[in-house]
Structure 1
Amino acid sequence: MGKKEFEASIASGGHHRLAQMIGEWEGTFRLWFQPDHVACEAPQRGTIRGILDGRFLLHEYRSRFGDEPIEGVAIYGLHLDDNAYESAWVESFGTGTSIMFSAGPAASEHFNVLGSYGDGQGGPRWDWRTEIEQPDPDQLVITMTNISPQGEAARAVEVRYRRVANTGL
């Protein structure tokens, strides 16, 4: 990635679109273990800020599963050379002691990446899709989909955020 390409992306390209997510957010976290049955619904607060001169976004958040607090951190980016979205995600609830690395083509207007995780027993890996859409400047919808080794997809997590402070824009 050259400096000129990055500056163009910050000014009016993919990095500019990602920067629209910078801010303080609050909303609702929903978790599914089985289709059509919400296992948990709880408030969630998050902060998304630009890091490394806008190359990446850092998303830090807190929620709950019953009485258990959940804390998570994700780094989101746009790899200009590969024209791909990328992320690294860790969470006190969902990822255990692993870091989930995900990537996906930057062909669509919204952030869409695919990672995978093991079942902890040596079985085949499962896929995990993370999509972030911003229907308007003050809303974010983060959807996570669990995909079995056989390719069956099921909604796993949905976070619906609304902006509570306009920072960094």
Structure 2
Amino acid sequence: MESKTANFTHIDANTNYPTMVDVSDKQITKRTAVAQSIVVLGDEIMALLSGNDIHTKKGPVFQTAIIAGTMAAKKTADLIPLCHPLALENIKVDICINETREVVIMCTAVITSKTGVEMEALTGASIAALTIYDMCKAFSHDIVIKETKLIQKTGGKSDYQTQ
């Protein structure tokens, strides 16, 4: 009888216990992942947008979120139990306002390694979004972190890109 968990990479097929994926036999390749989070800020908060940022008593919101997203991506293995600790080669967090006045956060993670950086990119985008929420909540709680998703990954066994 085949185990129902045989297709889950983080479950040991013999014991059904959680396990870190063994990457020791994988090839080292350049791996890149891009993740996106979208934050919808209410009109009261968006009215505070000046230039490319919102300035608060806590400081510039988007600049602070960029730093927080970068720091979080580097700490992914400390936050998600079965992630490999990685020596990231690059993290880039970009924040812009789209045509429907949503805050779009793009986090790109790059490494030359045996394992991918999707979780690092997703963590960076997520924490940047949470930082925006934290810094803006004093003005209004009319804030929605609408979605966080993987946009693209390259390197490793397969590539992926959203349609």
Q: Which band: TM-score by shorter chain? A: 0.3 to 0.5
Tell me the TM-score normalised to structure 2 length.
0.34
Q: Which has the higher helix share?
A: 2
Greater RCO between the two (CA within 8 Å, min separation 6)?
A: 2
Q: Which has the higher strand share?
A: 1
Tell me the TM-score normalised to structure 1 length.
0.33
